[in-house]
Structure 1
């Protein structure tokens, strides 16, 4: 009797099944890449964006470490932090499986989710800059995801400038370099939170020690959110951080500004 062919559960997409066969980069290499790509030295201009936080400071909603911690917890769990993390995880699935159609659909969704002009600028400009930096210094060498990276970043089929979203740009590069999904999502959320804490240190102003206390308080939040995003199907995406969204809209007409969003 012939050996039966293993059945893929119906709930599992083809992209997920293919992604499971990926041989990930060694942990030490993955750590180095994520530390480099998501560090303040990587030229995406993250320090110029506050995600609406500057208006919250001006309005008096964020005045100290406690109010900052509460604000960021909401943004992470109910706003762009959660949405970006799910998009990143699902984007890595699609890229690892070289599923260009699904990846492009996720990119369109990521841009459509932006609630204001400045938030669209924030994700788009950083996504463009990230792809430019990767192509200049970190080009992946082989594999189907690397081939997709090359196709979507150069030539006639490339995503045009202004058409990227930051979490999807990271998803494509991370898949091309065979980075683990969990580590990539966790590192992204940490960088997202750290950048906003840095913005608060300048805008409130907030002391360096208070900033580090906030980062420590957010540790459990980011870890739990990372695990949730990795397991969440795409139809669970969405947010309800309405005050943060309104803050980004109000920031567009704020009289004095240090940040672009």
Structure 2
């Protein structure tokens, strides 16, 4: 790949993973809001553990594996459709299902600023990691950088949600992101090579919290 193409790929990845990209991720906490209400996440230490567990053993891990599969199969319409169905079925709660589909649809709509026929192959009702994986591959963004960008954006969104919930301040948020660099760097190649056989989670409490959030009376977030 030429230097110009590499720079172009990097710029697009940074844009798509930016908090300013119009996908509406700021409206979701992935169950974190309920975990705060239940005192499972109450400070920087417990927040870091919560995010790390999600990335290594929870929804973050499954999303990374799904992203990798979509990246590899971005030219195969049937494979993408099957993957989209699987990604939706793996959602642990109604809110998690709504979240990933809403983010996926918003991402694909905004990504039309960079026209490519992969957008037609994906359709409109596609889970967020599947959309990002396929579109990233179509625009020559290498798999591991795409995974690192996605995992970092996911961690950053959780940190941002925790700041809004008054669990931590901005300085602690930066420290958490610094501490998560090593896990993210380690997880990217693992997810890239895991395949669908590597799907699976072991974060039962996090899944329960996403379900409990559905009946939470007062809340800031949609999940």
Q: TM-score range, shorter-chain basis?
A: over 0.9
Give, in whole Å, the separation in 1 of the partners of 2:46 and 2:120.
44
Offset, 1:74: 0.7
Give, in whole Å, the separation in 1 of the partners of 2:191 and 2:140.
19
Residues 66, 24 of structure 1: CA spacing in aligned structure 2 closer, same or farther, 3 A cutoff? same
Please tell me whether residue 87 in structure 1 is matched to residue 49 in structure 2. Answer: no
State whether residues 25 and 178 of structure 1, in contact with CA within 8 Å, keep that contact through their aligned partners in structure 2.
no
Unaligned runs of 5+ in 2: none
Unaligned runs of 5+ in 1: 1-21, 141-146, 154-158
Q: How does 1:212-251 map to 2 (within 5 A)?
A: 212-251=174-213
Give, in whole Å, the separation in 2 of the partners of 1:152 and 1:23.
27
Structure holding more helix per residue: 2
Give the aligned partner of residue 130 of structure 1. 107
Give the aligned partner of residue 6 of structure 2. 27
Give the aligned partner of residue 45 of structure 1. 24
State whether residues 48 and 259 of structure 1, in contact with CA within 8 Å, keep that contact through their aligned partners in structure 2.
yes
Number of residues paired by the alignment? 223
Q: CA RMSD in A?
A: 1.6
Please tell me whether residue 104 in structure 1 is matched to residue 73 in structure 2. Answer: no
Q: Deviations over 1:220-258 (max 9, x none)?
A: 111111110011121111111111111100000011100
Tell me the TM-score normalized by structure 1: 0.82
Moved over 6 A (4+): 22-25
Residues 101, 24 of structure 1: CA spacing in aligned structure 2 closer, same or farther, 3 A cutoff? farther
Offset, 1:151: 2.9
Q: Deviations over 1:45-94 (max 9, x none)?
A: 00010000000101101111000001111111111111010110111100
Give the aligned partner of residue 4 of structure 1. none
Please tell me whether residue 200 in structure 1 is matched to residue 169 in structure 2. Answer: no
Tell me the TM-score normalized by structure 2: 0.96
